Every structure is written in structure tokens, then in C-alpha cells.
Structure 1
Amino acid sequence: MSTDQDIKNVVLVHGAFADGSGWRGVYDNLTARGYRVTIVQNPLTSLEDDVAATTRVLNLQDGPTILVGHSWGGTVITEAGVHPNVAGLVYVSALAPDAGETTSQQYEGFAPTPDFVIDVGDDGFGFLNHEKFKLGFAADAGDADAAFLRDSQVPINMSAFGVPVKDAAWREKPSWAVIAEEDKSFDQAMLQHMAERMGAEITNVPGASHDVFITQQGIVSDVIDTAAHDAARVRAA
């Protein structure tokens, strides 16, 4: 158990089509290790709004913090991670654009993901297709859990994917990446490319789907714990 780490704060940021409740297992795991964990609830209405929601939570932290993002949350922490409280970044099957790049640009040149289908309404907000949801998002979850995630999903304003980030925090701060090897939401080559470009320490998780932050909470928590210790050593150096 980690009780004497210099970095005690962790902020968790969910992605599109989800909310912060998916982090419950990671929350329980990390708080049991002595961390102070806070979960952001992204409105998913725009990149600006999600970054603002994350910044509000970062403002509440009382010292250095590990900032964690899943999926779309990776774009959010890339922008919000320039906050002075952020000591390290953990990307969990997450997007990682560079400054001036959009989220959508990350897909260019990589294989399509036919099992990850977004149905977009007339108002510009998208839900994941119900018939494809389990295969595309939660293939390694039980049927009941996948159904709950499907039926509780939060739509995202699709225009957010076309907004470039202003800053890329990973260029200045140490980064870690957890990659689900059976993720059907992103091409594997895309996930590896983004993580390698960041210079992130990569943990590959065999058999895990896009919902790795739920189904592999122990591995994700271990990576966050490692990030906290390693980032503390970087700060002390």
C-alpha cells in the first residue's frame, strides 16, 4: 500500500458517451492506497467546457496532482494539464493531440473502426449505436454491465472533435499510457503512435476493451500509482 508518496492527489477525467461513475473502481482502489481522488464530470458540450470543468477541479487540489483521462478525456487533459498543479499525465486508451491539432486529426491515416458507430442527431450530439455498443465499447464487460453503460451513456457535441487544442501538456510533463489491446474504438496503431509520440511509458493490457478503466481497474490504478511515485522523483531531481 502506498501511504508515503509525495504526490497524493489524483484527478480522473471521463471520456465521451460516459460519466464519472465509471471510475468508481479506480477511485476505491486508489483511496485505499492513501490517495485523495477527485472525479471530473464533463458536460461534453464543447472542448472549452470540458477543460473548464477539469480546471475547476484542479484548482481545488492542495498540491501536485496526477491528471488521468480516458478516451476523449485524453484531449481534455492535454489542454487542461498545463495547470500548475499537474505533475504528470496518465492516458487510458486516450486521445493525445499536439498543440494546434484537433481530435479528429488523430484518426487520419489509421484503420477505421467499424464496430464503433456514432449516431448523430439533428442537434449535433452523438450517442454510440445501441446495437454495436457492447462490441465497440465494452466487449470484455458482462452483458448486464455493458447494457447499463449503453443505457446511461452521455452524448457529446460532435463539433468538439474539430476544435484544435491550444496547448499540449505532455510536451512539458511526464506521461504514461494504458492501452487496451482489444480496443475497438481506436486502431491499435493509432493508440501506439500517440503514446510513442508523447514519449509515454506504455502499459499494454491484453484482452481489454475500450472500457479498460472499468474492467481493468487494478492495472489502471497501478499505473497511476507508478506515475505518482515517478513524477515525484522527477520533481525532486
Structure 2
Amino acid sequence: MSTSPVTPTVVLVHGAFTDAASWSGVVAELQGRGVPVVAPPNPLRGLACDAAYVASVAEQIDGPVVLVGHSYGGAVITVAGAAENVVGLVYVAAYVLAEGESVGELQGRFPESPLGASLVQWAYPLPEGGTAVEVSVAVDAFPSVFAADVPADVTRVLAATQRPLAASAFTETAAAAAWRTRPSWALVAGADRAVNPEVERFGARRAGATTVEVEGASHAVAVSRPAEVAALVLDAVRATR
């Protein structure tokens, strides 16, 4: 008796300065094609912590998983992708790290984007006492830096609801690079002003990822171009089922 191939569950991992709702358009596209989808919250508290959480989500899913990471979420899936049932990785305007490499180190090899000068610092309490630093994008800079191709009324909401990233996440190094043992795909946002597109291209090439470039797309490409993002994810799903 023959058995039908199992469709992998897609786990969408958002990056810094946004939340899982940023995947709404992509979720709708994938669900419309019968693909199971989960979009968990990324804690944004540090690479090891965040990757452990995402890996735990993947490991509790019955069957194969394709991890999709946007921006800093790409660094997270690079580590979390070592989970046994992960069969593919999709990077969306993302950092693709090597073992022992940090987001700040990779980014520092290329001309700085406008993001760095647009960050504002906040303090948050630590469980063991004391405080640490987290960063978000200044509200007035958010439209041009993060979401230049998103309607202004939507961008105002995105700026108000952004989730800060622990500053330590920029310097924490990756304990693993799952793309070395998993097939990968990458989408480069051609007009990204948060992550230099050259950072995205370099990481994709190094990982041997099947790559598409969306010309004119901002960093918020999952919001502005959900059909194009979903099309690449569907390619990964078809290739790994």
C-alpha cells in the first residue's frame, strides 16, 4: 500500500521590532493552500534562549517542520533548526549565521544600515535582579527604516506595537548552523533599510540557499509582499514533503 507524503508544518518565526501578527498575510496564503502553519511568539531575550524556545515548539509538532525566520528570526532558526524533525529552513530578509558568529559580527562586515542610528534604548528587569538593556526603533524613524512600502496607517500601528529586542542578542554567538545539514531557501528584500541587503545575500550564498530577490521590498516584506514570501515557503514545503 502506498502512503501519501506528509506536508511539513510551517513554523513562522518573527524577528525584532515586530510580533507574530506580521505573518498574517503569509499565514492566510499558506492556509489557503492547505499547509499547516504555526506562528509562535519569539521571546526576543537572547539567541540561545529564543532558539531553545523555538526548537521546543518544533519538537512538539507531530511530523516534519519547515522553519521560516524573518530578520533576527533567521539567526534563531539557524540554531533551532538543529531540532530532529526540522527538514528545511527559509530565511526572509534575515541573518544567516555561521557557528560562533553573532548578528553584530555578521552585520559589521558590511556598510551599516540606517537601523543602528534609529534605535532607542529601554531598561527591563532581570529575574535575578538588576536590569538589562533592550532596544526598539524610534517611532518617527520606523516607517522609512522598517516598512517603507507599507501603507502609512498600517505602519503607524506596527510602530506602536513593536516588541523590543534584548541588546545582548546582537553579541550572542550561534551554537549551531543548521543550514549545514538542512536545505535552505532565502528571500532578499531589495530595498531593505534595516538589514543591508548585502548581508542577506552573503548569508544566503554561504548557506547555498535557493534565493529569490524581491525588488523594491522593505524589511517588512512579509507584510507588504505576503504572496511572494508564501510562494518561497511553498517551494520549501514541496521540496521537503
Taking structure 2 as the reference length, the TM-score comes to: 0.91
1:5 offset after TM fit, Å? 5.8
Q: How many residues align?
A: 229
2:160 to 151, 154, 158: 151
2:226 to 210, 217, 228: 217
Higher alpha-carbon deviation: 92-101 or 223-232: 223-232
SS in 2 for 1:178: strand
1:40 offset after TM fit, Å? 1.5
* Contact kept in structure 1, 2:69 and 2:76, CA below 8 Å: yes
1:90 offset after TM fit, Å? 0.2
SS in 1 for 2:239: helix
Aligned to 2:180: 171
1:109 offset after TM fit, Å? 2.4
Q: Deviations over 1:133-167 (max 9, x none)?
A: 00000000000111000000001111111111110
CA distance in structure 1 between the partners assigned to 2:59 and 2:108 by the alignment: 35
Listed as ranges, the matches of 1:68-83 within 5 Å are 68-83=68-83
SS in 2 for 1:121: strand
1:49 offset after TM fit, Å? 2.3
1:115 offset after TM fit, Å? 5.1
SS in 1 for 2:23: helix
Q: Compute the RMSD of aligned alpha carbons.
A: 1.3
Letter in 1 for 2:96: A
Aligned to 1:203: 212
* Contact kept in structure 2, 1:115 and 1:135, CA below 8 Å: no
Aligned to 1:118: 119
2:237 to 217, 228, 231: 228
Aligned to 1:108: 108
* Contact kept in structure 2, 1:47 and 1:163, CA below 8 Å: yes
1:224 offset after TM fit, Å? 0.6
Aligned to 1:189: 198
CA distance in structure 1 between the partners assigned to 2:59 and 2:107 by the alignment: 32
5+ residue gaps, structure 2? 124-131
SS in 1 for 2:222: helix
Aligned to 2:129: none
SS in 1 for 2:39: strand
> Closer, same or farther in 2 for the Cα pair 1:131/1:60, shift >3 Å?
same
* Contact kept in structure 2, 1:5 and 1:228, CA below 8 Å: no
* Contact kept in structure 2, 1:126 and 1:157, CA below 8 Å: yes
CA distance in structure 2 between the partners assigned to 1:159 and 1:31 by the alignment: 35
* Contact kept in structure 2, 1:41 and 1:53, CA below 8 Å: no
Letter in 2 for 1:166: A
* Contact kept in structure 2, 1:19 and 1:153, CA below 8 Å: yes
* Contact kept in structure 2, 1:8 and 1:34, CA below 8 Å: no
SS in 2 for 1:192: helix
CA distance in structure 1 between the partners assigned to 2:27 and 2:56 by the alignment: 19
Taking structure 1 as the reference length, the TM-score comes to: 0.93
CA distance in structure 2 between the partners assigned to 1:222 and 1:103 by the alignment: 27
Q: Deviations over 1:149-203 (max 9, x none)?
A: 0000001111111111110000110000011101001222221111101100111
Pair 1:9 & 2:9 matched: yes
5+ residue gaps, structure 1? 233-237
Letter in 2 for 1:94: A
Please identify runs of 4+ aligned residues in structure 1 that moved more than 6 A: none
